[in-house]
Structure 1
């Protein structure tokens, strides 16, 4: 009898830092051997001629979530995690989204129940925080952080979701004290609202005007302002879904100044353009997201940000709304750009798109690809080394890639519940053919091998950026000290 439950042999392994040939021995869901010449287990996968990579981590996706406009995502935890698995992703981190008036513990409890019943791969949670009341900041949020939800997102735009600068500072201060990471959707709400008002007054309501209203400068200004707030407290921050050159330049400057600022981007900012919204009727709604796709110069800036390390995460920002009155088109053909549900599907094609256009073209090394799609996500959210790498003791989350497989993307081949893909007709090269999660074969022979509810919830640790910031931090940040004294005084008064 073999000492392993499963072996993966004869493949070429790549992590974020190494490339080598070895066999993998798996027992009880973990990697327990990495060496050449392992004897095959009863369950053995011959990976000859294939890349053997860590399973991907998609740390920005929206699943079974009600939007600020009151629209439910098309994907629940079953369809989303099945789609993720077929695209080589073995861990997702979606958002338990608070809407104003809701209590954070109730939001998380409901979301956890939905995930436990349906997910087929592992998952952790972020929070979306829209109602930072005193109980939320002093009790609920710290408790949830200690329970393993160590990251949360705030918005600088959308009337139903946005926080003011003073509220964001309150949230940053709690994150700083409790050891959590704040994620920011950075767009200037007032600029967008002003542009919307004037566009609508002149009858410009087609989907293409969504990209006009969400002007590049709205993102650039808000990015600079968010970074300033983080620098005031010397607190780590992640700017999500970065799309344009000036924002990237501002982030890079802050990083060179020593600020603890991190950033991600998404497929739509490499592979789509604002021109895609300029289609007959309301067809352009399929390409509406916020920030919107930009232009060729912005695409080049995003590629450069990935290459030079300014942008360290490549996430899908999967926000799936169907192209009908349940999602994108609440008023059918009369839907204006302001009424379109913002978001695009991308969970399943995130990694194949970047593999094809990054690794296969020589823009990225295979190690950079692994870092951008898996390892850096695990670092950012306190999951390394359990997730995001191939190493002794790590969970056996593995994707076996056929670099020669050519695929013509169409919605008919995908596994989400959206009904369309904005990447329809794009030909790519390279696709994951076997996907393993915690030693379980999840996808093989283009077939799902596991049942709903078999994924596991992950408690996140302290994010690595927070640990590094604390190690480097000077002890005399006046504003942070003032906040800490204020908090101590309030506790004494109670």
Structure 2
């Protein structure tokens, strides 16, 4: 090997785990790419000894919210700097947040605004999903197809929230554009009218504590919307991905569709494995701490948690994401809008989790709930494929970006917000002990976290990724 072929980095004694394979080798990196896998590689400019650690592909978080424009008076705590800093400290090296269209606004303008928000801030690589909130004829015929061609090949639609929800006809029209342009639609499946009717009844009876958020969004409203979304996908003959699935009733609908040969993909999140409805408050509890766990769909009960774990291991789910929605608790622009406790229907929805996503799921590996290969598939390989970033992301292979995370599979960590790197003033997982934690985290061959310590890389080093066509197989 000539001087010009010298390696920037060699990771020695790597116990490499991908979605399908496990092998021991040295990893050679040059110019941010993996260029060789083998034994006895020549000396690199920098060397890392991975003995006793697992070498996994960097996580791909396919569903997170960073610095997303909010209605007046609300603000997300994390921007692209603090959000991506937290992500890489938790073993995630690629994020895909949302460029959100406002009703009456341009989708192209939303994308331009989101690039401005990310520019000079992100420390790891990122792509964008779109949120389509106003599918006008111009958006459907011109803006959306043009953006798909430019690398925005996935977009989210909502069946709930007044400022975001689409009618059934609008859903069909968006799905048709996805079919014609080889894009993927992500669906937030909850029945808006059912939620509105239940909410009005509860508020009218004075039942407004955070715990009533879950009662206003029972499993039935997720089950019905999931079935309806599947029906739309069948009519248009296009794949969809149902996001943040919370429990067994929606899972049954998805499994039914998959059994009929429909391309229905699904995602779940840590909150549906580790939180329950009781985290929003017990019966008779009129306190406000439960607002910290208000998200949609809401956490359910231990029986539903068990159903989600089973569906992770038996292949119902393709993707495991954080759905990081970073609102501060004690904040007049966060969970305490205007500086005071709010009725449940005014509490900003969402929980933080971009840094704890991977350790929480890895704890399931340590407890024998899923295999290492399933962990990699759900958190890195399949998100990269589904969202058009593979093989650049999602694997350890020659030619891939050197996004590599070295894990200590036996390290026990008790989660504490004071040790996390997001800008949120709480974590709903406070005090939970997990086994397995990322020790060294590399993005394109650059060490960003060493021995668990964030090395303060330059803000803005993260690159925008144009996504290719979804790979669903």
State the TM bucket, normalised to the shorter chain.
over 0.9
1:194 counterpart (182, 194, 197): 197
* Aligned twin of 2:335: 328
Cα distance in structure 2, aligned partners of 1:120 and 1:10: 27
Unaligned runs of 5+ in 2: none
Cα distance in structure 1, aligned partners of 2:447 and 2:152: 28
Superposed, 1:23-422 pairs within 5 Å as: 23-67=26-70, 71-278=74-281, 281-323=287-329, 324-356=331-363, 358-422=364-428
Deviation, 1:208, is: 0.2
* 3-state secondary structure, aligned to 1:101: coil
* 3-state secondary structure, aligned to 2:241: strand
* 3-state secondary structure, aligned to 2:48: strand
Contact 1:441 1:449 in 2 (8 A): no
* Aligned twin of 1:487: none
Contact 2:14 2:27 in 1 (8 A): no
* 3-state secondary structure, aligned to 2:308: helix
Contact 1:81 1:120 in 2 (8 A): yes
Cα distance in structure 1, aligned partners of 2:388 and 2:292: 34
Contact 1:329 1:339 in 2 (8 A): no
TM-score, normalised by the number of residues in structure 2: 0.97
Contact 2:90 2:357 in 1 (8 A): yes
CA deviations 1:88-144 (Å, max 9, x no partner) are: 000000000111111111110111122121000000000001010111111110010
CA deviations 1:4-62 (Å, max 9, x no partner) are: 00111112100000011111000011101111222331211000000000000000000
Aligned pairs, number: 465
* 3-state secondary structure, aligned to 1:464: coil
Cα distance in structure 2, aligned partners of 1:148 and 1:37: 39
Contact 1:150 1:180 in 2 (8 A): yes
How big is the alpha-carbon RMSD for the aligned residues of Structure 1 and Structure 2?
1.2
**Alpha carbons of 1:379 and 1:317: their partners in 2 closer, same or farther (altered >3 Å)?**
same
Deviation, 1:69, is: 7.3
TM-score, normalised by the number of residues in structure 1: 0.93
Unaligned runs of 5+ in 1: 469-494
Cα distance in structure 2, aligned partners of 1:40 and 1:256: 52
2:445 counterpart (413, 434, 439): 439
CA deviations 1:127-173 (Å, max 9, x no partner) are: 00101011111111001000000000000000111000100000000
Q: When you count helix as a share of all residues, which structure comes out higher? A: 1
Cα distance in structure 2, aligned partners of 1:331 and 1:79: 24
Deviation, 1:404, is: 2.1
